[in-house]
């Protein structure tokens, strides 16, 4: 009988670097989900940005770093445009700015999430 012993090191996907990357991809997915849920429960956007900053060092030097940068920029620029929109609410253009901001954020979440699923970095 010729029994083969399979070690963990010889199994595909058991490389610690692969596991770390897989974990980081899961975190990136969670952040996109939190950003999307923020349209219903605004506090999740804050949770998402905190995760981005806390875990940013873990993805440094990987293709996921571009997603983190994309997510961070999405958060801060959306906050900027939200403030500008609220300030301009006294004139009709404020509503247009806020609506454009919502569309832009949805686009950024969808675009980023689709590229993540395809294992592609974001262009930043």
What's the average model confidence in pLDDT over 89-110? 95
Token couple for 27: 């975190």
DSSP annotation of 60: T
pLDDT greater than 90 at residue 117: yes
What's the average model confidence in pLDDT over 18-44? 94
Please give the span between the terminal C-alpha atoms of the chain, in angstroms, as a whole number: 57
**46 in any annotated domain:** yes
**3 in any annotated domain:** no
**124 in any annotated domain:** no
Between 13 and 75, residue with greater pLDDT: 75
What is the predicted pLDDT for the residue at 14? 56
What's the pTM value of the predicted model, to 2 decimals?
A: 0.82
pLDDT greater than 80 at residue 9: no
**29 in any annotated domain:** yes
Cα 111 from Cα 9, distance rounded (Å): 36
Task: Provide the domain count of the chain.
Answer: 1
Range of the domain at 26: 16-117
**73 in any annotated domain:** yes
Residue pointed to by tokens 């939200």: 82
């Amino acid at each position: 009988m010729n029994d083969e012993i399979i070690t963990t090191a010889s199994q595909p996907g058991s490389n610690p670097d692969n596991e770390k990357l897989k974990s980081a991809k899961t975190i990136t997915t969670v952040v996109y989900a939190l950003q999307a849920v923020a349209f219903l429960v605004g506090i999740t956007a804050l949770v998402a940005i905190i995760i981005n900053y806390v875990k940013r060092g873990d993805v440094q030097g990987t293709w996921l770093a571009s997603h983190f940068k994309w997510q961070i920029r999405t958060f801060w620029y959306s906050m900027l445009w939200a403030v500008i929109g609220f300030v301009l609410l006294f004139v009709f253009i404020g509503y247009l700015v806020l609506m454009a901001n919502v569309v832009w954020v949805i686009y950024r979440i969808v675009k980023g999430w689709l590229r993540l699923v395809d294992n592609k970095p974001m262009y930043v």
